[in-house]
Structure 1
Amino acid sequence: MARVQSVRICDVQTGMILAKDVLTENGRVLLSQGVRLTDQCISALRKRECPFVEVVYNERIDFHTKFRYKHNKVVRSKTAFEGFYQETVQIIKEAFESIRLSNHLPLDVIHRLVDSHIGPLMDTYGALEYIQNIRVHCDYTYRHSINVAIISGILGKAIELKKSQLEDLVIAGLLHDIGKISITLDILNKPGKLTQEEMELMKTHPENGYQFLLQYSQLAESVKRGVLHHHERNDGSGYPKGLTKNQISYYGKIVSIADIYDAMTTDRVYRKKLTPFSVAETLVEQMYHQLDPNLCLAFLNTIKSSVANSIVSLSNGQQGEVVYLHPTPTISPIIKLMDGTFLDLAKNKEIGILDIINDKI
């Protein structure tokens, strides 16, 4: 069983895990419980003259070397996916906490993470439904970054991007919210809806992220513009610049779809997640004025593949199996009910799908 102990800051070592949050003088969270300390974290703590920290003694492995030997891993099952996914969350959490403290992006870590972790996760058959079914309510910011990277990669594969383009796209997805490092954790982790003032502050994150990434010439401009444009919309209703259609970068358009899908299919404290069917309807509504229609069509086909043969619960109290999906862009399926009869939701629009209650049969 792991031990929790107070350690003087002069004795703290790289790889130790925080047992409690480290707070600033104002009571804001500087470093979260569970973070594995890096050299940058320790340096920042010393600069702030923290006398000691509470740590968990466990494996002392620096996150820079933690996944050195994981290249070319193949994830073959839901259980393996979930374990590998949680490991990925921990790595990106440590990397992002380090960025928050040091204001430095560890590009080597990001590139290796994409190669050794994000790649195998997005290549897993069933990845889209696996990430939706991982029921963890903490670390939303880090999980969302990983999910958007995976979903962007899945869409990138569907439209047959080249390998180098796919890697840049996944990096753009992983870093799309990097501008949020300048926003305090109490706002980022707020359990309820944001105030208008807090929302306006949140809307600065695409520009902040782009400006932060400008200092890294090794990153492709397409990655940086993907980060800058992921909240822009074709009709000019997005932010930060209110761009339209061809003014918005291709990666920005892809990441925006991934961002919408993950945000809507994830449980939050203030609302329950929506089903892929409901999100698909939203994408259909937005594809001709806010989002790129061709990208939406490609992603809708991906969603349809992920929900085929699923067991669903309906708003009329019945359950059944998804046995047919109408041609895109329609997403309403035909359901085979438990009594053997069939129900076409395209013709019975008053009945909706409440939840996917089981894996495919």
Structure 2
Amino acid sequence: MRVKTHYLVEGCILSKDIVGRIGNPIINKKTILDTEMLNVLKAFLISEVSVEKTLINGQQYHPREVIDEEKEDLKEEPSFITNYLKTVQIYKQYFKNWQAGSKVEVAKIREIMIPLLKKALNNPSVIFSLHHYCTKEDYLYHHAISVGLISGYIAQKKKFDVGDVIQITMAGCLVDCGMAKISPSILDKKTALTAQEYEEVRKHPIYSLRMLQSTSILKETVKYAILQHHERLDGSGYPTGKHGTTPHAFSRVVAVADVYHAMTSERSYRKKQSPFKVMEMILHDDFGKFDISVIKILLAGIANYAIGSKVRLSNGSAAEIIFIDENAQTRPLVKLLDSSELLYLDRNRELFIEEIM
């Protein structure tokens, strides 16, 4: 919906780019408006913008006046992002309950995840923008829902049967439920963890398994995936970190989804990185740690939905993705917006995509 800027509040989400006079975006769609962004709008004398009907905290946004109910707003069915943000907030409440000692009610998690998964699989492009909505404050809850959806997408592409796709989605959503047993002082810390704190966090797969061990809704293979999602093919990782321990196929899917979303999301102690940069790091820096077939599926998905996207390069230049070579998917051909110059990133290795805008 389109509203006057003076009715905006912190937490509004832009649904369309705000474009300057020369055609370049001033602020990109999917941006979560905070005090700084609201001041930018005032500075540029922007009088009205298009925003989602849901705030980042999952609550409905009710401005005092709506200029235009855009076409997508006329549909009775809520948008994917509205459902996603509400699901994150429901999961957040469940997590708080687990921290207080409540049991994990897997059936309730399934109730909120299956409808969202169906929406995501019907429109896979939304899966590759999930990281845009992740906030530092609610990272754990966004991460759970997003890893579940990304895992489900990969599982479907790997031709798992429908039942296993749902089970893998559930695994992705619940791998970090054991974080509820970690001290809140560690979970809420704004700086990098100490070695001792990190060792405590590394116990969360074991805690997760204990919390889910008695449920009959999850297959035993899913419970293995939950325990093993931080194990790596080269024997590194945790909680065992043993050579010769081969993670289950479900675990290999969740492992890639987990690290991908973590690295593309803003964290209290680490800045987010673009999907292209993250996939390049997974392919090269972490070579041998992850299942290459899973990596290829995720990378192909990113590439398929990135053509035409506006990006910011590592030198600050704004560009548009024109073409992606299947042999160099992390380094596409881009066109600079200010000069229309074509730049093949595979031949300019000093540059990389800093952000998809």
Shift of 1:245: 6.4
1:157 counterpart residue number: 156
1:276 counterpart residue number: 275
Sequence identity percentage: 31
Within-5 A mapping of 1:181-196: 181-196=180-195
Shift of 1:81: 2.4
SS in 2 for 1:346: helix
Shift of 1:330: 4.1
CA–CA distance in 2 between the matches of 1:273 and 1:346? 22
The verdict on how the C-alpha distance between 1:111 and 1:354 changes in structure 2, with shifts beyond 3 A counting, is closer
Within-5 A mapping of 1:90-101: 90-101=89-100
Q: Which moved more, 1:119-128 or 1:278-287?
A: 119-128
2:137 counterpart residue number: 138
1:356 counterpart residue number: 356
Shift of 1:316: 3.4
1:327 counterpart residue number: 326
Kindly tell me the number of residue pairs found equivalent between the two proteins: 282
2:237 counterpart residue number: 238
TM-score (normalizing by structure 2): 0.74
1:346 counterpart residue number: 346
CA–CA distance in 1 between the matches of 2:124 and 2:169? 18
Amino acid at match of 2:348: N
Give CA-to-partner distance per residue, 1:316-360, whole Å, 9 cap, x none.
Answer: 343221111121464210012232321111011112222222xxx
TM-score (normalizing by structure 1): 0.73
The verdict on how the C-alpha distance between 1:283 and 1:150 changes in structure 2, with shifts beyond 3 A counting, is same
User: For structure 1, which runs of at least 5 residues remain unmatched after alignment?
Assistant: 1-57, 59-75
User: For structure 2, which runs of at least 5 residues remain unmatched after alignment?
Assistant: 1-58, 60-74
Within-5 A mapping of 1:33-72: none
Residues 287, 296 of structure 1: 8 Å contact kept: no
Residues 261, 279 of structure 1: 8 Å contact kept: yes
Residues 324, 333 of structure 1: 8 Å contact kept: yes
The verdict on how the C-alpha distance between 1:199 and 1:272 changes in structure 2, with shifts beyond 3 A counting, is same
Amino acid at match of 1:88: T
2:17 counterpart residue number: none
CA–CA distance in 2 between the matches of 1:208 and 1:135? 24
1:177 counterpart residue number: 176
Shift of 1:306: 2.8
1:68 counterpart residue number: none
Give CA-to-partner distance per residue, 1:125-181, whole Å, 9 cap, x none.
Answer: 321332122153322111110110011111112212110000000000010111112
CA–CA distance in 2 between the matches of 1:135 and 1:111? 21
Give CA-to-partner distance per residue, 1:18-45, whole Å, 9 cap, x none.
Answer: xxxxxxxxxxxxxxxxxxxxxxxxxxxx
Give CA-to-partner distance per residue, 1:97-130, whole Å, 9 cap, x none.
Answer: 2223234121220221122234323543321332
Residues 315, 354 of structure 1: 8 Å contact kept: yes
Q: Which moved more, 1:82-91 or 1:308-317?
A: 308-317
Calculate the aligned-residue CA RMSD, in Å: 2.2
